[in-house]
């Protein structure tokens, strides 16, 4: 038997696997499952982006390129960071990787030593703790409560910092809560990080998906000192409906970029060349398809929140999300009740019962470190969304 390394044995299997396996079984049996579990836009990649990839193939751009990314694409990212975020970077500070997930891995692998503590606000995107652990770091959680709009405060960060704290992972707009921090809230957190020399991994992958008049502010914008401590991660998966293309990027101080560039050249090397040309078209081409997609998500969000408002009387509350395409639905009022003879203990039971009896797939909050809620994605058609919410309402009514 081959014994796996201690490093990988620490990584937890995905908790969502059992639910999605069961949903797939039902679908294969011809049952219509309404899926609120989707983590990607249900829109096609815009045509001009696909055409740019086809064009790259036709031109024979099928060879290796620089491991850290096409120079033209790095320049386009620099321009994007200036235009959207008013941040100045040199192309050498940009690394193009295989999706934002890969960029996050690179950032943590390049900076975290064994025993370093990494602060993670919870509910969190479930990959963060697993990457931290696989790099020898120790995740420490700061609870972002629904009472505070699922946002951590500067005071909470200050209280959580210990001598071994190295990094804070900061995700705004947030998956799973949809929380978007204001500039004021971010500046307060930045002040604490600068005072204690804490590196901030700023995951800004949902930057473009913000609604209701809120806007994105990058923590790197707070001050030159904060920028020197920030690793920005972003990409095109969510904003341009390009999840399958696999392209993310990071922007960071020169010494970190140099280190990542070196080890990326010995691991994955360059992201596939056609995807890089497609991404160039995404960043530099017409933005209207992306604007239209965000507007469509915005309309769905309105409908979803309207419907959820009507479900509050059933004990199902929520915190208004301003970004991404998720809502956390608080279901702790159902705990202790029974449904068809089964006692509900936590979010996993809610997910399981909803799937079995109502053919509705949702993601239990326990996967994100918060058992009091379930995550609903609105990356599905409005008709399915409304039908699914009606089924969830029926479920809550039928709990005794």
Ligand X SMILES: Cc1ncc(COP(=O)(O)O)c(C=O)c1O
Distances (CA, A) of 275 to 64, 259, 288: 12, 24, 20
Q: Which is nearer to ligand X, 112 or 324 (CB)?
A: 324
Cα angle 346, 347, 350; round to 5? 95
User: Binding mask 162-201 vs ligand X (x if CB under 6 A, - otherwise)?
Assistant: ---------x---x--------------------------
Cα angle 364, 116, 118; round to 5? 35
Helix (H, G, I), strand (E, B) or coil at 201: strand
Q: Tokens at residue 96, please?
A: 């193009």
Q: Which is nearer to ligand X, 175 or 347 (CB)?
A: 175
Q: Tokens at residue 361, please?
A: 């797939």
Q: Is 99 in the site for ligand X (CB under 6 A)?
A: yes
**One of 177, 230, 237, 261 touching ligand X (CB under 6 A):** 237
Q: Tokens at residue 70, please?
A: 């096409």
Minimum distance from residue 159 beta carbon to ligand X (Å): 24
Helix (H, G, I), strand (E, B) or coil at 94: strand
Strands 94-97 and 248-251: antiparallel
Q: Which is nearer to ligand X, 137 or 173 (CB)?
A: 173
Q: Is 243 in the site for ligand X (CB under 6 A)?
A: yes
Q: How far apart are CA 137 and CA 344, in angstroms?
A: 35
Q: Which is nearer to ligand X, 144 or 399 (CB)?
A: 144
Q: How far apart are CA 151 and CA 294, in angstroms?
A: 23
**One of 37, 39, 139, 146 touching ligand X (CB under 6 A):** 39
Q: Any idea which residue has 């398809």 for tokens?
A: 289
Q: Identify the H or E element spanning 383.
A: helix 382-398
**One of 109, 125, 211, 325 touching ligand X (CB under 6 A):** 125
**Closest residue to ligand X in the complex (CB):** 99
Q: Which is nearer to ligand X, 156 or 363 (CB)?
A: 363
Name the segment binding ligand X (CB under 6 A); options: 98-106, 138-146, 158-166, 357-365. 98-106
Q: Is 205 in the site for ligand X (CB under 6 A)?
A: yes
Minimum distance from residue 363 beta carbon to ligand X (Å): 11
Name the segment binding ligand X (CB under 6 A); options: 56-64, 93-101, 223-231, 383-391. 93-101
Q: Which is nearer to ligand X, 203 or 372 (CB)?
A: 203
**One of 49, 70, 74, 101 touching ligand X (CB under 6 A):** 101
Minimum distance from residue 133 beta carbon to ligand X (Å): 17
Q: Which is nearer to ligand X, 234 or 334 (CB)?
A: 234
Cα angle 212, 216, 217; round to 5? 145
Cα angle 119, 121, 127; round to 5? 85
Return the axis-axis angle of helices 347-358 and 382-398, rounded to nearest 10°. 110
Distances (CA, A) of 392 to 36, 316, 325, 350, 361: 11, 10, 18, 10, 10
Minimum distance from residue 398 beta carbon to ligand X (Å): 32
Minimum distance from residue 356 beta carbon to ligand X (Å): 26
Residues that bind ligand X (CB under 6 A): 39, 99-101, 125, 171, 175, 203, 205, 235, 237, 243, 248
């Amino acid at each position: 038997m081959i014994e796996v390394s201690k490093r990988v044995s620490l990584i937890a299997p995905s908790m969502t696997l059992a639910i999605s396996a069961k949903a797939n079984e039902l679908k294969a049996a011809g049952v219509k499952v309404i899926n609120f579990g989707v983590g990607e836009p249900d829109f096609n990649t815009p045509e001009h982006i696909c055409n740019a990839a086809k064009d790259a193939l036709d031109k024979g751009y099928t060879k290796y390129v620089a491991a850290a990314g096409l120079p033209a694409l790095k320049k386009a990212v620099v321009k994007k960071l200036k235009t959207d975020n008013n941040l100045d970077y040199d192309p050498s500070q940009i690394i193009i990787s295989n999706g934002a997930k890969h960029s996050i891995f690179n950032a943590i692998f390049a900076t975290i030593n064994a025993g370093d503590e990494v602060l993670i606000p919870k509910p969190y995107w479930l990959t963060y703790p697993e990457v931290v652990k696989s790099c020898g770091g120790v995740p420490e959680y700061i609870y972002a409560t629904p009472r505070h709009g699922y946002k951590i405060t500067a005071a909470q960060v200050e209280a959580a910092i210990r001598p071994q704290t190295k990094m804070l992972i900061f995700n705004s707009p947030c998956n799973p809560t949809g929380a978007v921090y204001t500039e004021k809230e971010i500046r307060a957190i930045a002040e604490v990080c600068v005072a204690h020399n804490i590196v901030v991994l700023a995951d800004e992958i949902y930057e473009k998906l913000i609604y209701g008049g809120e806007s994105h502010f990058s923590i790197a914008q707070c001050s030159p000192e904060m920028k020197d401590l920030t690793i920005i991660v972003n990409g095109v998966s969510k904003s341009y409906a390009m999840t399958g293309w696999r392209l993310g990027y990071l922007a960071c101080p020169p010494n970190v970029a140099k280190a990542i560039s070196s080890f990326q050249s010995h691991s994955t090397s360059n992201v596939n060349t056609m995807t890089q040309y497609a991404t160039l078209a995404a960043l530099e081409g017409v933005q209207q398809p992306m604007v239209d997609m965000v507007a469509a998500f915005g309309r769905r969000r309105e409908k979803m929140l309207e419907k959820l408002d009507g479900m509050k009387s059933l004990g199902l509350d929520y915190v208004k999300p301003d970004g991404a395409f998720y809502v956390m639905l608080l279901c702790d009022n159902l705990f202790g009740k029974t449904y068809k003879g089964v006692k509900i203990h936590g979010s996993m039971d809610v997910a399981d019962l909803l799937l079995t009896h109502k053919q509705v797939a949702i993601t239990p909050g326990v996967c994100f470190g918060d058992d009091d809620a379930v995550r609903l994605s609105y990356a599905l058609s409005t008709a399915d969304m409304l039908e699914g919410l009606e089924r969830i309402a029926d479920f809550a009514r039928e709990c005794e």
